[in-house]
Amino acid sequence: MLAVFTIAAPAHGAKPAWDQVKNVKESAERLGLLHRKSGPNGVLKFLDACYRTHTLSSKYTTAVEGCVAQDVMYSRVLSAVYSRVPPKVRVERSLPTAEQIGAALQARVSVVIRQYALLPADMDMLQKLIDDHAMPIVLKEAFPNAAADVGGTSR
């Protein structure tokens, strides 16, 4: 589901000037807190506003990277949770499938990749940072019982 960053992108990207490890860790902490306070609907509204606000920037920023990181993390968790829901119940509750969640994430991230001319290698690095540093934090903060099911290594 989360082979999100394998989209071809123009070779114009530049290495971010900020500490990406710190940024994805802080993004995970904020996501965990937001989930605890506002639940899934609050997180989804936040992510929508995050992209609409921060992608107004003409440059790729820590805030845009944070939006992508939080989106990837939350999409991964939602996919794991919703994939356990029986199909009949999922239809009754109008819940998306893991494939639909992945496709929607792919579409959102593709826009960011194109807008900021990010390189596939840059996105692969971001994915690795999310896996290694951010997923453990968000799972501990917001989904302590899901850590074994979602993990930080699936892509």
- Amino acid 15: pLDDT: 77
* Alpha helix stretches (DSSP H) within 55-134: 62-82, 87-92, 98-115, 120-129
- Amino acid 21: pLDDT: 98
Alpha-carbon gap, residue 43 to 37, rounded angstroms: 9
Q: How confident is the model at residue 8 (pLDDT cuts 50, 70, 90)?
A: very low
Considering only 10-19, 22-31, 126-135, which range has the smallest mean pLDDT? 10-19
User: Among 73, 134, 83, 128, which Cα is nearest to 105's?
Assistant: 73
Answer yes or no: is pLDDT of 12 > 60: no
Contact 43, 74 (CB under 8 A): yes
- Mean pLDDT over 119-135 rounds to 96
Phi-psi region of 124 (alpha: psi -120 to 50; beta: other; left: phi over 0): alpha
Contact 130, 72 (CB under 8 A): yes
Domains of the chain, residue spans: 20-144
Q: Can you read off the two tokens belonging to residue 41?
A: 């609907």
Q: What is the pLDDT of residues 44-79, one digit of tens each?
A: 999 999 999 999 999 999 999 999 999 999 999 999
Alpha-carbon gap, residue 91 to 87, rounded angstroms: 6
Q: What is the pLDDT of residues 130-140, one digit of tens each?
A: 999 999 999 99
Q: What is the mean pLDDT of the chain?
A: 88
- Mean pLDDT over 78-107 rounds to 94
Listing DSSP states for 18-45 in one string gives S-HHHHHHHHHHHHHHHHHHHHHHHHHH
- Mean pLDDT over 25-32 rounds to 97
- Amino acid 148: pLDDT: 56
Alpha-carbon gap, residue 149 to 114, rounded angstroms: 32
